[in-house]
Structure 1
């Protein structure tokens, strides 16, 4: 008789102990409570946004809505031109993903497989930058955006500053390096024998094996760009360049509260949908590296 393989921390034998069972269900209950705390606020916003105006302002508020006005979604979308803000955010996200994968991926390849003299020290210095508070570099960085060094360009009202920031991410470099470390060196040597160049090896050998980590970084970068507020707010001053989050913040003074909830619903839904469709890459990326090494 075949037994089910134990893949968790607690196996079948340990689970038979009463103390382990109590610990297991305590942790499980705590996780449910934490998940509910995280899920309920956005669900409340999305559900409340569809109430009619009378029910929306009723005291005490209704937990389960009695009215649903679906038409408010389309009216708000059309009246405040959310399609343009979505396109701006999508354009910003696509550029950030391209810059993030290209430059950070090459950096991870450089530190993992090429390893020229002095690369270890350079890698340590890059990782150390994670400990530097972000607020330290905000003032000099913003001044450089207004007057870009040497070229003397004003990069405000453009997406280039956010794209440049995405191109240098120490955490992403570390993730790429750790993933590339488990790719056998013999594959690279075989490609060299076949006449592949250094860049050719990266494109034809490394990247095809890196689909899980690329998918994971893509989803995380997209989510980060979508919810980023500070730099888009500081850089994108013209309304035609606003991202979704910046638009909601700048328009909130002119929006009724129920319409603000609808606008927040527009901001919440895309990351949720993105995560639902691509969560398999995040989960598989944790174990795929071991299968390559084996």
Structure 2
């Protein structure tokens, strides 16, 4: 019981764990959680390990999880042969622009609705809520038509603007801004701070938690998105890594697995580096939002 002595919060507390039924339930939940983690982690783990196998071992039957011999040089050879650098750079450009637009535009809309509250702000917020009920298919069709009419095909700009008009992000920001004490804003007004100055010097610096959540969602969506980049980026020089992966049907299967490895490694590395900030941001955003 020593491992549970300091457990005073949560679905099952330390007091509950002193009872046999609660302890049994706890271990059942942990077993299911472990199995779920195993199911989620096994496919990407298999991809990462298979990318290090040579061609003969990759096609061997029965398949093995761990390589008998490691061939890291295969990663370099496939990267050079596919010329993956340009697709990787394209994805970074798309992600950077998408995250920037998601942070700036959605927070500005939420700032207007939550703090400035001009005439008609409640109507605007109601329309934003209603927009979440519009089917994604209709939104994609109208968005694609607008891109064609504006002659913005083969441009990264539409991919940047799309997350900048996300109803979910606006609602998340608005709910968080509502929790910021208005005394800070009033004090800034008395000091002569402009409305935009309040946004840049008070609202956004106090919203690091929700900013972290927005960055996580927009980054992951922009990196893994396939349909919109596939429709807009027709030129091979502008394609992202996910779109290039889809167009690799003529390559050997082991090459495709290596390319899949290239697509899943960056998000994993980012999570491992910033996992503390990510988890604290999600927790704080969920509590205050």
Return the match for 1:254 from 243, 250, 254.
250
In the TM superposition, what are the counterparts of 1:1-294 in structure 2 within 5 Å? 4=6, 6-148=8-150, 154-250=151-247, 252-288=248-284
Q: CA deviation at 1:60?
A: 0.9
Tell which deviates more after alignment, 183-192 or 5-14. Answer: 5-14
Distance, in Å, in 2 between the alignment partners of 1:56 and 1:287 is 41
RMSD across aligned C-alpha pairs, in angstroms? 1.8
1:4-62 CA distance string (max 9 Å, x none):
36232221111111111121111111111111111100110111121111111111112
The alignment partner of 2:204 has SS state of helix
Secondary structure of the residue aligned to 1:253 is coil
Distance in 1 separating the partners of 2:83 and 2:282: 40
**Offset at residue 258 of structure 1 (A):** 0.6
Give TM-score scaled by structure 1 length. 0.92
Deviates more, 1:214-223 or 1:162-171: 214-223
Deviation, 1:223, is 1.1
Gaps of 5+ in 1: 149-153
In the superposition, the TM-score normalised over structure 2's length comes to 0.93
Structure 1 stretches of 4+ with a deviation exceeding 6 A read 289-293
The gaps in structure 2 that reach 5 residues or longer are: none
SS in 1 for 2:40: helix
Q: Secondary structure at the match of 2:15?
A: helix
Assess if the C-alpha contact under 8 Å between 2:78 and 2:258 holds in 1: yes
Deviation at 1:111, TM superposition (A): 1.7
Offset at 1:66?
0.5
